[in-house]
C-alpha cells in the first residue's frame, strides 16, 4: 500500500498543532511531551491521542464499555484514599470501579516497514501488547503501543461495598505501584526510541522547535513525573 503523503502530511500538521494546544490548556500529560516530540521529529511519524498512564474511578455496569460508563475521577499520579472516599458517600448510577492503565501511545507512520520497526523497539521496552490497528492511504499505518499494565477492581455496587473503607488504602497501594511501573516503561520506551529517532528528520518540526524553545522537551519523562507527584512518589 502506498500512502498519499500530501494528505498524510496535512494530518500530521493538524495533530502537531493539537499537541501544543493540549499542552497549553493542560490537557496533555506533561510527562508524555518529550516522547511525543521525539516521535514527531521523524518525517514519517506523527502521534494522535495518547496517555502516560492513569488511575480512574468509573461508574458503570462494566468499566470497559465507554458508551455505558462514566469516568467520575481521574489522576495521572498516585492516589490516596481521601481523594476517592466519595465512593462511600454517594450512590453510583451502576457500580464504582477502580481502574489503572499503563501508557497508551497512538502513532501513524508512512509505511509498514516503519511501523514494524517501531513495534519491535516498543516491545523491547515492555510494550508487549502493541500492534497495527488499521491501514489507510490517507491516515497511514496506525499503531497502538500498550504495555498490558492494567488492573480493575469493583469497589461498590448500588447495594453493597465490595471493598470496605478500611481496605481501600491497601488496594490503592497496589494500584499506585502499577501506575509507577507504567511510568518506568514509558521512560524505557523513550530511551529505546531516542537511540534511533529521528531516522529522517522533519525539517519543519525542527524549525518550529527552535522557535518554541520549550525546556520540558529536553527532560526525561520519569523526571517530569517525579516532579509532578513530588513527595507522593517518594513515599511509595
DSSP category for residue 43: T
pLDDT of residue 235: 59
**Cα(225)–Cα(180) distance, integer angstroms:** 9
Segments in 125-200 forming alpha helices (H)? 165-194
pLDDT of residue 46: 96
pLDDT of residue 194: 94
- 10 Å CB burial of residue 189 (0-12, 13-18, 19+) is buried
Strand partners, 201: 42
Can you list the domains of the chain with their CATH numbers?
A: 5-234 (3.30.1960.10)
Give the H or E element holding residue 98: strand 95-101
Report pLDDT digits (tens) over 40-87.
999 999 999 999 999 999 998 887 877 778 899 999 999 999 999 999
pLDDT band at 37 (very low <50, low <70, confident <90, very high): very high
pLDDT of residue 236: 58
Given a cut of 90, whether residue 12 has pLDDT beyond it is yes
**Cα(81)–Cα(70) distance, integer angstroms:** 20
C-alpha cell at position 199: 531516522
Report pLDDT digits (tens) over 196-219.
999 999 999 998 888 877 777 788
Given a cut of 80, whether residue 170 has pLDDT beyond it is yes
- The pTM assigned to this predicted structure is 0.90
Other CB atoms within 10 Å distance of the CB of residue 93: 13
pLDDT of residue 65: 75
Amino acid at each position: 500500500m502506498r500512502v498519499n503523503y500530501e494528505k498524510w502530511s496535512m494530518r500530521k500538521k493538524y495533530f502537531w498543532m493539537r499537541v501544543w494546544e493540549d499542552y497549553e490548556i493542560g490537557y496533555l500529560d506533561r510527562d508524555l511531551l518529550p516522547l511525543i516530540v521525539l516521535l514527531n521529529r521523524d518525517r514519517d511519524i506523527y502521534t494522535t491521542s495518547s496517555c502516560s498512564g492513569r488511575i480512574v474511578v468509573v461508574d458503570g455496569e462494566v468499566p470497559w464499555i465507554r458508551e455505558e460508563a462514566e469516568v467520575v475521577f481521574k489522576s495521572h499520579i498516585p492516589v490516596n484514599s481521601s481523594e476517592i472516599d466519595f465512593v462511600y458517600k454517594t450512590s453510583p448510577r451502576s457500580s464504582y470501579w477502580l481502574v489503572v492503565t499503563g501508557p497508551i501511545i497512538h502513532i501513524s507512520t508512512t509505511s509498514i516497514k516503519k511501523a514494524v520497526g517501531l513495534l519491535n523497539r516498543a516491545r523491547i521496552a515492555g510494550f508487549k501488547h502493541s500492534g497495527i490497528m488499521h491501514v489507510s492511504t490517507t491516515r497511514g499505518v496506525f499503531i497502538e503501543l500498550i504495555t498490558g499494565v492494567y488492573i480493575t477492581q469493583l469497589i461498590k455496587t448500588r447495594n453493597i461495598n465490595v471493598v470496605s473503607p478500611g481496605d481501600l488504602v491497601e488496594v490503592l497501594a497496589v494500584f499506585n505501584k502499577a501506575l509507577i511501573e507504567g511510568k518506568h516503561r514509558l521512560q524505557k520506551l523513550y530511551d529505546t526510541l531516542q537511540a534511533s529517532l529521528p531516522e529522517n528528520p522533519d525539517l519543519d518540526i525542527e524549525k518550529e522547535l527552535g522557535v518554541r524553545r520549550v525546556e520540558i522537551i529536553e527532560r526525561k519523562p520519569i523526571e517530569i513525573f517525579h516532579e509532578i507527584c513530588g513527595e507522593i512518589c517518594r513515599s511509595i
